[in-house]
Amino acid sequence: MDFSLTREQKDIVKAARKFARGEFPDRAQEFDREETFDLSIWRKACELGFVGVFIEEKYGGAGYGFFEHCLINEEFWAVEPGIGFAILATTFGAELLSLYASEAQKEQVLPRLVEGEAIMGTAITEPNAGSDVTMAETTAVRDGDHWVLNGTKMFATNGSIAHFMLVFCKTDPEHPSRHKRHSFFIVPTDAPGYKANKLHGKMGIRASDTAELVFSDLRIPLENLVGTEGDGFAELMAFFNHTRLHICAQAVGLARAALEEAVRHIKGRVQFGKPLADFQATQFKIAEMATRIRASRNLYYEAAWLADQGRIDHGLVAMAKWYSAQTAVTCADEALQMHGGYGYIDEYKVQRLYRDAKILEIYEGTKEIEKTIIARSVLK
């Protein structure tokens, strides 16, 4: 059993770390405060080959696996989560296209994502449909040679800046199985009837774009259906088994950043005549953080490696996502605690990490959903 990265993977990690450390720190606080992002950084990341590495070479990608995408995620988030998410989420939805889209659809969308010519997002959640995606009410109805979409989506990543959105819609409301009522569609955001309302005041990852979407008699060609009509739920579950791995890598990166901030602070902060790092209580916190990070990384490494072998382990993916997200939240909390009052003001990076961490336990499947999946995999 070999846990080491290949030389090529080590080079990817090194390059991603160098890019992030060179580009992110000077703008991080600005983007967080202003809830904005400079797309020139994304375009530079595209030029250097960091975006869409899991996309096949014939569509302009590097042809690597999802594991390599995770490695880049971890390094970006270890420097600045908000910027890391804003860059790598520009291909959010390409994972599903890679699995289910037609050749024509892939040729239309994927090269533009890799080359920095287009941004993609995904719209699944609705005001009354979160964890239970089968409750999604946005409809897609056939009308001649078009689909007509009506409905509202919430928390749509890149909703107000994307060129294409991957949208989960109800296509067969009367089907006896609630798992066969939905389908996915590629929706160009310049289509009449598409309206995006950017959401403001997010707790964390504020450099990224999140929006409410409203579809009003939006018409798209029949060929914009992705995969098989009625198989949207099954396709979504397969999609999540890949994107949840990205969240694991994000979590490990953030936890690393929290540990780094904590170590820097406790080595320099003197209380009761000696550095905080000399106190056993503080050392125990550091020990627990480092152990959690290593365990979380091992979980996602195994799950991502299996995914790239075509051997998805649903229970293992859920374990990795739940545990790594909890690790990120725990490490951010402990790091802020060790900073004391200084951790509570925005001049210190640790308070931003604390805010950024919580979303990891929510998006792509809440911690409660992940535990349910884990339990079912054990009890089946």
Question: CATH number of the domain that 266 lies in?
Answer: 1.20.140.10
Q: How confident is the model at residue 137 (pLDDT cuts 50, 70, 90)?
A: very high
Note the pLDDT tens digit of each residue in 43-52.
999 999 999 9
Q: Is residue 218 part of a domain?
A: yes
Q: How confident is the model at residue 1 (pLDDT cuts 50, 70, 90)?
A: low
Q: Which long-range contacts (CB under 8 A, 24 or more apart) does 347-353 make?
A: 348/261, 349/28, 349/257, 349/261, 350/258, 350/261, 350/262, 350/265, 352/28, 352/29, 352/32, 352/81, 352/82, 352/204, 353/81, 353/254, 353/257, 353/258, 353/261
The dihedrals phi and psi of 250, each to the nearest 5 degrees, come to -60, -45
Question: Are 245 and 333 found together in one domain?
Answer: yes
Question: Are 246 and 158 found together in one domain?
Answer: no
Q: Is residue 1 part of a domain?
A: no
Helices (H), 94-144: 94-100, 103-114
The pair of three-digit structure tokens given for residue 304, joined into one six-digit string: 């991502």
Q: Would the pLDDT of 66 be above 90?
A: yes
Give 4's contacts (C-beta < 8 A, 6+ positions apart): none
- Domain-terminating residue out of 56, 79, 114: 114
Question: CATH number of the domain that 104 lies in?
Answer: 1.10.540.10
The pair of three-digit structure tokens given for residue 239, joined into one six-digit string: 């999609």
Please tell me the distance from the alpha carbon of residue 50 to that of residue 83, in angstroms, as a whole number: 13
Note the pLDDT tens digit of each residue in 260-302.
999 999 999 999 999 999 999 999 999 999 999 999 999 999 9
Say how far residue 279 (Cα) sits from the centre of its chain: 37
DSSP letters spanning 207-222: TS-EEEEEEEEEEEEG
Q: Is residue 42 part of a domain?
A: yes
Neighbours of 29 (CB within 10 A): 15
DSSP label of 58: G
Please tell me the distance from the alpha carbon of residue 196 to that of residue 243, in angstroms, as a whole number: 23
Helices (H), the chain: 7-23, 25-34, 39-47, 66-79, 81-88, 94-100, 103-114, 232-268, 280-308, 314-339, 349-357, 367-379
Q: 68 is in which domain, residue-wise?
A: 7-114
Q: Would the pLDDT of 244 be above 70?
A: yes
Number of independent structural domains in the chain: 3
The pLDDT, as a whole number, for residue 3 is 79
Q: Which of 14, 9, 85 is nearest to 243 (CA)?
A: 85
Region 73-92: mean pLDDT is 98
Say how far residue 268 (Cα) sits from the centre of its chain: 34
Are 95 and 242 in contact, with CB atoms under 8 Å apart?
yes
Question: Are 226 and 274 found together in one domain?
Answer: no
Note the pLDDT tens digit of each residue in 10-52.
999 999 999 999 999 999 999 999 999 999 999 999 999 999 9
Report how far apart, in Å, the C-alpha atoms of 374 and of each of 245, 318, 380 are.
15, 6, 10
The pair of three-digit structure tokens given for residue 59, joined into one six-digit string: 């569509």
Question: Are 223 and 134 found together in one domain?
Answer: yes
Question: Are 53 and 125 found together in one domain?
Answer: no
State what percent of residues in the chain have pLDDT above 70. 100
Question: Are 273 and 173 found together in one domain?
Answer: no
Report how far apart, in Å, the C-alpha atoms of 314 and of each of 95, 310, 374 are.
17, 12, 8
Q: Which of 174, 179, 175, 184 is nearest to 153 (CA)?
A: 184
Are 249 and 77 in contact, with CB atoms under 8 Å apart?
yes
Q: Is residue 351 part of a domain?
A: yes
Question: Are 133 and 149 found together in one domain?
Answer: yes
Are 181 and 225 in contact, with CB atoms under 8 Å apart?
no
Which residues are tagged catalytic?
364
Note the pLDDT tens digit of each residue in 346-359.
999 999 999 999 99
The pLDDT, as a whole number, for residue 2 is 78
Question: Are 238 and 135 found together in one domain?
Answer: no
Question: Are 251 and 362 found together in one domain?
Answer: yes
Note the pLDDT tens digit of each residue in 158-202.
999 999 999 999 999 999 999 999 999 999 999 999 999 999 999
The pair of three-digit structure tokens given for residue 267, joined into one six-digit string: 């080595």
State what percent of residues in the chain have pLDDT above 90. 98
Question: Are 323 and 239 found together in one domain?
Answer: yes
Give 347's contacts (C-beta < 8 A, 6+ positions apart): none
Question: CATH number of the domain that 127 lies in?
Answer: 2.40.110.10
- Domain-terminating residue out of 198, 230, 262: 230
Please tell me the distance from the alpha carbon of residue 145 to that of residue 142, in angstroms, as a whole number: 7
Q: Is residue 189 part of a domain?
A: yes
Question: Are 264 and 370 found together in one domain?
Answer: yes
Q: Is residue 75 part of a domain?
A: yes
Question: Are 196 and 280 found together in one domain?
Answer: no
Please tell me the distance from the alpha carbon of residue 274 to that of residue 270, in angstroms, as a whole number: 5
Q: Is residue 2 part of a domain?
A: no
Q: How confident is the model at residue 380 (pLDDT cuts 50, 70, 90)?
A: confident
- Domain-terminating residue out of 114, 140, 156: 114
Are 51 and 90 in contact, with CB atoms under 8 Å apart?
yes
